[in-house]
Structure 1
């Protein structure tokens, strides 16, 4: 019995050893096959880093302000009897906005005008009577004063009627209506906002260290997250002569054309003041940069000196500068003329063989204009 058990155990060990040997041979064969395997090259698009001369600019966050903006308000207390505008509409200077109740003044006006006519007749007779010394100089002066008082009363009534007919003080676009028909307005009650939107002001500040480089007439580019598309151009029109004592910043104001009225007062925008001095940079497409917490890098395409020819990638860490349009400046780590991968860098690795095919390479521009803008 013991011999049978011993033979059984021995046979089992032999079977296990044979299986282990076969498995080891299979693994060794797979390892050898993996060493001999060649990874197929990936197809990439490339771009040659080039030297460019970029305009020097100073950036700041600005706020938009209307060239003319006001909240139209009632000057006198009265009831609204007519509303002659549509909210959000464009109006011209002098267009009527609302009319208040002027029935009392209109009823008093004919009597006041009649009083003017009467005093003028009396004054005309008194002139002749004064020549003949029928009346005294005091009576004549009283007649002159009575005429002036009557004329003043007519002017007062007409001025009151005019003030109760509220008109647009300048051309612009109206806002939300804040009155209703039949509402009794008090003096100073708001009626509607009125803003001139074209052109529009951009107010921003820059450090006092830049004051010597700033002057009126310098170009300004305005962009906003709320306004996709190309930058809107304008020029500096005012440099505040006073420097803020708390922030040591100088206030500037630029005027920007706004024919489509896309820019609105109160919006925050990004401003860039173009300076006459230009700087030389090494520009590459922004899509060629592999961004990472430990450092930004690009993949340089080089000849494969260790293999059988072809092209391989070398990951090169770079230091980046300003970005403009589709391009970004490289301040360190890359030389002019070096060929780099321009798209799809997130799927590449160092030492990977590649094949260059630029048939479908995108066109990179400093001032891109997508078709949907």
Structure 2
């Protein structure tokens, strides 16, 4: 009996010891997990406070050496990339002002021309006939007016007849000028030097007045346009240099700002910026595009009006 009771007491002590050991293994991870939860909560509160203070999350590892209180971290020293497009400074569409048939297109699509060159010749047989008729009528009216003036000097004609003949001569001259101007529109002349971008009509095709024939452009002076945030107006000025990294060329092309748009788009809060290339533009064509790269000056961007709203570009 004594021996059995001793064995039972030993088993009870071993069970109690095992229970205490298991309790310790369960308690230690629970305490560790509670510490992690408390620590993460404090970090989240600190991050939220930093966002409310600076207007964006703090990133000390990439702040470019700026103090944490700077309103724009780290964008104040980074290069901003926008999409830009190459456009010619001068470009237009040549259209006929007369209903006529095309006799000849002298410069094909992609061809070059100089200012003053005849690009298109229209069939103006009817208009030329009308011009010849007007010239004959003008000549006859001037002769009648001259004869009547001499008769008036000899007291053989009254002043009313002389004045009427002079007015008829002036009317004939105006009619001749009208048809002369009409015939001059049968030849479409290049307003500037450049190239033919697109041919919209063919030879021997009949056109109505106002119908386009050729798209032409001046490829000697190319510009680049891009859309920038309107808040950049605080530091973007004419003369600011930037780089266009062409998608087609794969090279960087130096440029500078020459014009700033006259109106800000209130919906997108953006504005159009126009620049011109500095140096050689060989290999560049109108319509090419690429990335506009410019450096945002340190401290040039004004602090946000509402620090709680992030304004990073």
TM range (shorter): 0.5 to 0.7
- Answer 1 or 2: which has greater strand percent: 1
The equivalent residue for 2:269 is 248
| CA 82–240 in structure 1, closer or farther in 2 if over 3 Å, else same | closer
Query: What TM-score comes out, normalization by structure 2 length?
Result: 0.64
State how many pairs are aligned. 226
* 1:157-183 deviation digits (Å, cap 9, x = unpaired): 222221111222221111233322221
Question: What residue in structure 2 maps to residue 357 of structure 1?
Answer: none
CA contact (8 A) 2:148 2:162 kept: yes
Q: 1:151 aligned to 2:173?
A: yes
How far 1:278 sits from its partner (Å)?
A: 10
State the 1:56 CA deviation: 6.8
C-alpha deviation, 1:277, in angstroms: 6.1
Q: Deviations over 1:289-317 (max 9, x none)?
A: xxxxxxxxxxxxxxxxxxxxxxxxxxxxx
Given the alignment, which residue of 198, 221, 225 partners 1:203?
A: 225
**Aligned twin of 1:268:** 289
Distance 1:163 1:259, change over 3 A: farther
Offset of residue 88 of structure 1: 0.7
CA distance in 2 between counterparts of 1:257 and 1:94 reads: 28
Closer, same or farther: CA 86–186 of 1 in aligned 2, 3 Å: same
Please list the CA deviations of residues 181-226 of structure 1 after superposition, one character each: whole Å capped at 9, or x if unmatched.
2211112222121011222121112222221111111112111221
> Cα 1:122–1:210, aligned 2, differ >3 Å: closer, same or farther?
same
- Comparing 184-193 with 252-261, greater Cα deviation is found at 252-261
Residue 93 (structure 2) pairs with residue 71 (structure 1):
yes
In 1, Cα distance between equivalents of 2:86 and 2:160 = 63
The Cα shift of 1:276 comes to 6.7
Match status 1:220 vs 2:242: yes
Question: Hey, which of these two has a bigger chunk of helix by percent?
Answer: 2
Cα 1:100/1:84, change in 2 over 3 Å: same
Contact 2:198 2:216 in 1 (8 A): no
Mapped to 2, the partners of 1:258 and 1:194 lie a distance apart of 24
Rounded Cα–Cα distance in structure 2 between residues aligned with 1:100 and 1:130: 47
CA contact (8 A) 2:196 2:216 kept: yes
Q: Deviations for 1:54-100, whole angstroms, at most 9, x for unmatched residues? A: x9754321222221112212211111222211221111122111211
Following TM superposition, by how much is the alpha carbon of 1:258 offset from its aligned partner in structure 2, in angstroms?
8.0
Return the TM-score normalized by structure 1: 0.54
- Secondary structure of the residue aligned to 1:247 is coil
